[in-house]
């Protein structure tokens, strides 16, 4: 049976590739998508998701309107230089496709319907998931099988500041709430997602035969993202697909090595904003909500799977 997934996201190029990966993967059953601000604003994120679903003829996947700002209410910058003005690199989704949003509480109907058959995957800012804990309560939220969370950088450099990763930096209050409250939470921080490098050669392999409606789009948005990463990290051989790796982990958790730790997130507006911290000192069992944190991964297995899924036939789309 494919794994049922409720996805929180902010597409964004790597989010979009993650959605395409999920739609093409026969082991994933995407039952709903919560669209929020992050890489672009919430309206644009919704339009981008609606466009991808339309290409796949999967308009039956429900869309739920998520957060428009962080919990603090402040404005956070988008990153057009990495994701493009509209979030899909050079692609502008047709204005005719808007996407119909259900109200936020539809999240709790999905959780009630699927319970422990469902995993929640969050590849965006943590705001909407934190609000879900606030409105739905921990008991309801923790009836799901688990949470797969892309965020943080554990004792390793950040990507928006020296120490902070973009999802946690975007809303550190929300990230802290999720770290405290999500039971059976598995964290995929930059420690592993920065290693999830997809190269132009792998994209060329995906392009060899035209099998699904996404391939041309995959190449265009990847090329844009790769160009941006080459400026950020001179000499890099490809681009890290942070969000795709997190979806891959849903079907292949055994490809990672994990530790279990409590994770805290820096809240102040200085150097520590959004910085994630876990305590690696040898000491007796620590108090608090422990996350399972992925710190190493099997890179060849990820890239092989990525090329296979992204070049798979339309027949996987039911
Ligand atoms: C994360 O930040 C976002 O901009 C990406 O989509 C990814 O979810 C990486 O730090
Ligand atoms: Ca994202």
* pLDDT band at residue 318 under the 50/70/90 scheme: low
- 258: which 2 tokens? 């994990």
CB 19 within 8 A of CB 121: no
Q: What are phi and psi of 125, to 5 degrees?
A: -60, 155
Contact indicator for 32, 6 with CB cutoff of 8 Å: yes
* Sequence-ordered list of residues with C-beta below 8 angstroms from that of 106, at least 6 positions apart, any chain: 32, 62, 64
Q: What is the pLDDT of residues 278-304, one digit of tens each?
A: 999 987 788 999 999 999 999 999 999
DSSP 129-174: HHHHHHHH-HHHHTTSSEEEEE---SSS--SSSSSB-HHHHH-HHH
Q: Is 165 in the pocket of ligand 1 (CB under 6 A)?
A: yes
Share of the chain above pLDDT 90, in %: 86
Q: Taking the chain, what is the end-to-end CA distance rounded to the nearest angstrom? A: 14
Domains of the chain: 3-317 (3.90.245.10)
Query: What's the rounded Cα separation, in Å, for the pair 206 and 213?
Result: 12
Q: Look up the pTM and report it.
A: 0.97
Q: Please, which pLDDT band fits residue 314 given cuts at 50, 70 and 90?
A: low
Q: Quick check: 142 and 183 in contact, CB under 8 A? A: yes
Q: Which residues surround ligand 2, an ion (CB under 5 A)?
A: 12, 15, 123-124, 243
> Residue 148 — very low, low, confident or very high, per pLDDT cuts 50/70/90?
very high
Query: What value does the mean pLDDT take over residues 82-108?
Result: 91
Give 31 Cα–ligand 1 centroid separation in angstroms.
22
The whole-number pLDDT of residue 316 equals 54
Q: Which residues contact 147 (CB under 8 A, 6 or more apart)?
A: 119, 120, 121, 122, 129, 178, 182, 184, 185, 186
Nearest to 185 by CA among 154, 137, 151: 151
- Judge whether residue 92 has pLDDT over 70: yes
pLDDT at position 268 is 80
Q: Indicate if the pLDDT at residue 307 is higher than 60.
A: yes
- 83 close to 124: Cβ distance less than 8 angstroms: no
**More confident call, 268 vs 3:** 3
pLDDT score at 106: 98
Q: Tokens 């929640």 label which residue?
A: 120
Average pLDDT over residues 176-190: 98
The band of 96, judged by pLDDT with boundaries at 50, 70 and 90, is: confident
Q: Which residue is closest in CA terms to ligand 1's atom 10?
A: 166
To test ligand 1's pocket by mutation, which of 11, 13, 14, 168 has the most ligand atoms within 8 angstroms of CB? 14
285 vs 241, more confident: 241
Do 18 and 48 touch, CB atoms closer than 8 A? no
Nearby residues of 306 by Cβ (< 8 Å), 6 or more positions away: 21, 198, 202, 241, 244, 248
Least confident of 73-77, 126-130, 158-162: 73-77
Q: Are 35 and 9 in contact (CB under 8 A)?
A: yes
Phi then psi dihedrals of residue 15, to 5 deg: -65, -45
243 lines ligand 1 (CB under 6 A): yes
Arithmetic mean of pLDDT, 127-151: 98
CB atoms within 10 A of CB 137: 12
Cα–Cα dist 235/27, whole Å: 35
Residue 156 is predicted with a pLDDT of: 98
Token reading at 172: 């550190």
């Amino acid at each position: 049976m494919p794994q049922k997934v409720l996805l929180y996201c902010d597409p964004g190029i790597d989010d979009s590739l993650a959605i395409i990966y999920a739609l093409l993967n026969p082991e994933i059953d995407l039952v709903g998508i919560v669209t929020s601000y992050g890489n672009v604003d919430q309206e644009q994120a919704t339009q981008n998701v609606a466009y991808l679903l339309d290409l796949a003829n999967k308009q039956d996947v429900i869309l739920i309107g998520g957060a428009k700002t962080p919990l603090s209410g402040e404005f956070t910058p988008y990153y057009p230089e990495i994701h493009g003005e509209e979030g899909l690199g050079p692609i502008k989704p047709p204005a005719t496709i808007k996407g119909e949003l259900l109200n936020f509480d539809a999240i709790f109907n999905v959780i009630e319907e699927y319970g422990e058959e469902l995993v929640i995957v969050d590849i965006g800012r943590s705001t909407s998931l934190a609000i879900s804990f606030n409105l739905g309560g921990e008991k309801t939220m923790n009836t799901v099988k688990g949470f797969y969370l892309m965020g943080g950088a554990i004792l390793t450099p950040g990507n928006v500041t020296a120490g902070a990763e973009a999802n946690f930096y975007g809303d550190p209050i929300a990230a802290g709430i999720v770290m405290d409250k999500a039971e059976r939470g598995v964290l995929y921080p930059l420690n592993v997602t920065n290693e999830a490098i997809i190269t132009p050669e792998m994209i060329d392999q995906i392009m060899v035969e035209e099998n699904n409606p996404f391939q041309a789009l995959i190449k265009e948005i990847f090329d844009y993202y790769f160009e941006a990463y080459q400026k950020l990290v001179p000499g890099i051989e490809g681009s890290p697909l942070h969000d795709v790796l997190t979806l891959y982990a849903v079907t292949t958790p055994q490809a990672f090595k994990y530790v279990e730790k409590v994770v805290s997130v820096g809240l102040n507006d200085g150097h520590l904003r959004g910085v994630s911290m876990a305590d690696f000192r040898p000491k007796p069992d620590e108090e608090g909500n422990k996350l399972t944190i992925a710190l190493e991964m099997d890179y060849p297995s990820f890239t092989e799977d990525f090329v296979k899924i992204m070049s798979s036939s339309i027949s996987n789309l039911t």
